[in-house]
Amino acid sequence: MASTKTANKKSALTRERGRSGILFGAPALIFVTLFLGVPILQALYYSMTKWNGLSATWIGPSTFVKEFKNPIFWRVMQNNALLLLAVPVAILIPLGIAYLLNERVAGWKFFRSIYFLPTAISWVVIGMVAIRVFAQEGVLNQLLRAIGLGFIKTDLLSSEHGALLAVAITFIYSMVGTNTMIFLTGMANLDISLNEAARIDGAGNVRIFSSITLPQLKRFIQFSFVITVISAFTALFSLIFVMTGGGPGFGTTTLEFFVYQSAFAKGDFGAGAMLGFILFVIMAGLGAAQLALTRSKE
């Protein structure tokens, strides 16, 4: 009898908690629906129209079929895929920097400020500086001449693959500060006793880093990966606009920049809405895959 009363109390408490959760969660759900869900549905609708910003003519899903047959679209997607190759570099370099700074090397406070500097600077400014670095008579070629390697003359911004490489290098530099701070935060919360025990057992720095530090940083590495991938898809507009304008040709045009070109440069807002919706689907898919991967490892 007592067990029945206890079960009823637990059931009532569970229902009460459920009602409280719905009550407190409803405002947030309404807010998200109005300011995120509705615009996404509007973008889906306009993506299947010919829309000039004032009037929209319904065409249907054939707009997606036509775009998927467009070779320029797949060239743009290829550019995005190639830029994803910079993501591991944009994570590994800050990880190494964070490890050195965490070891309190000489001048670590000064270097921490220097490495964090890109985070405090607008990407537009970084892009303008990058032009001065990679131009035909830029800092890079001047440096090569100064060390006796003037015969290696580069002009990355004049070729499609070279310009994409310049954007990738600038992107990596732009992410150094953010990812370094993420890893430093993670290392500040590590269990130091494990490192000390490993040193007593004779483990070296490399062994400690690979077997003890990295596993404890798993969550921070995953977070850094998500942030870097999102930035590679949705945060390069400023760099590309300043450095290359999407050129030469479509050599540095990403999907994000292609949305701007289609909607605002050409005035085809329907195509812009369609490309924006495709970008949303890609980012949602990457987010879902990351979430599933995280849960599976748990």
The rounded distance, in Å, linking the Cα atoms of 283 and 105 is 39
Task: Give me 44's structure tokens.
Answer: 């889906």
Mean pLDDT of 31-56: 87
State the virtual CA torsion across 143, 145, 148, 151 in degrees, nearest 10. 120
pLDDT at 4 over 70: no
pLDDT of residue 37: 85
* Nearest alpha-carbon partner for 75 in 290, 249, 279: 249
**Domains of the chain from N-terminus onward:** 66-297 (1.10.3720.10)
Nearest Cα residue to 119 out of 102, 103, 97: 97
In this model, does residue 76 exceed pLDDT 90? yes
Instruction: Identify the pLDDT of residue 46.
Output: 92
Is residue 202 helix, strand or coil? Answer: coil
pLDDT of residue 9: 60
List residues bridging with 86 in a β-sheet. Answer: none
Which two structure tokens, joined as six digits, stand for 147? 């060390």
Label residue 263 exposed, middle or buried (CB < 10 Å: 0-12, 13-18, 19+).
buried
> What value does the mean pLDDT of the chain take?
85
| Among the ranges given (13-22, 81-90, 258-267), the one the predictor scored with the smallest mean pLDDT | 13-22
- Look at residue 8 in the predicted model and tell me its pLDDT: 60
pLDDT digits (tens, 9 = 90+) for 49-66: 988 878 888 998 988 999
Mean pLDDT value across residues 26-44:
85
Contact between 258 and 275 (Cβ < 8 Å): yes
Taking residues 229-250, report their average pLDDT: 91
Distance (Å, whole) CA 60 – CA 267: 19
Q: Give the separation between CA 130 and CA 121, rounded to whole angstroms.
A: 13
Nearest to 66 by CA among 271, 253, 285, 255: 271
Task: Identify the pLDDT of residue 28.
Answer: 82
The contacts of residue 209 (CB under 8 Å, 6+ apart) are: 99
35 burial class (0-12, 13-18, 19+ CB within 10 angstroms)? exposed
The DSSP code sequence of 8-68 is HHHHHHHHHHHHHHHHHHHHHHHHHIIIIIHHHHHHHHHTTEEE-SS-EEE--THHHHHHH
What is d(CA 261, CA 169) in angstroms, rounded to the nearest whole number? 23
List the one residue out of 91, 261, 272 whose CA is nearest residue 171: 91
Distance CA 3, CA 8 (A): 9
pTM, rounded to two decimals = 0.85
